[in-house]
Structure 1
């Protein structure tokens, strides 16, 4: 599922983009969960995490080009597809790392080509790995395959989708520092959870994709709820 932000001041055009995304998803067997924001200010105040942004350029107040520059100050990875009435903005758009450009009214053909490029970029961004030393050698594990990591007496245990847990010596504090920009959240003093692997959030626990339930400590509960709802787009 691709969390997709549509920033467009015209409701009809936002709906058109949503419908075209749905059509593309059906054709390519992928799903888009869309959120609509009607202005650049609304976009910049939204702290949720998205995989993809469709951004109108000509909007009242802060225009889309300026908003994209501001977005890049804290997220240099998210693919941006610009949508506008004027093709002259195309060159300037690529200065802020746009991966696509669509002239209104959006059509399935031009959006489809832009989405092909954008989703390739998303796949590349999702390729982060962890290098884990073990008794038998170094293991390189994609971060997306790790559900959670816990520590007990200086032993880190990596819980990996479809595999037995993997143990190694280490510090959870140092690992958390290394993963500061990754989608992980501290659940308790001894546990980090991968937010991409969360199946369900309850008030006092996380249920992970492998069925494990992680108890959220009282001291971390508010932080966990805030980070997980932001990441999964709960504030919509």
Structure 2
């Protein structure tokens, strides 16, 4: 059976572009063609369609009149057959919320057929299963050769390391985030979330790639967390006898330290 898709976007050109890109990618997992069998212009229309037909995939915009895409995704948990969700939006700032809702992927416009194909294949392969257990680093998308080469960053001198910037897409612009502005990085599904002093932004690098790029005073305290040691405020033992770091961002974020990394962390901090 061919997977059935619903496109939800309040802008007609965006819906047309998604239809075109889905035709461009051709057969996906198991040589199946994605069939677009519904379109909705807002969240309310989307829920009516989703409750009347079993869709396999929803391509969902976030900012729409009425219900937002995030609100629609929350409602999907009540459906007998929950479709996989790929968010398609011009705004990267909702990505962390999107992945909290178990989205298969989060695409920031504009994106091409290749990027959409990877997202669709990941969604259809998931089949409702969520990668990894508690404390596991979520699966990362297959990197293109250029991305893989970019991730192989040689060891830098302290001087050159200070020049490292991480590109972040924001409102159609590329913002370069300074290395020391990053409080910590957390693995997200197919991405990494960078926690800054006042906000969280999403980047397309895996945590392993970020670890190679940042180096220096960044330390992998957990398979899902990379911490800037200059931003550690407190070390607090938890009830299991492990450690939790309290960071010096505005929210005083807490980051779990795995037991196998605790001893080396204490050594790095000189305690």
Provide TM-score, normalisation by structure 1: 0.49
Provide TM-score, normalisation by structure 2: 0.43
Q: Which has the higher contact order (CA 8 A, sep 6+)?
A: 1
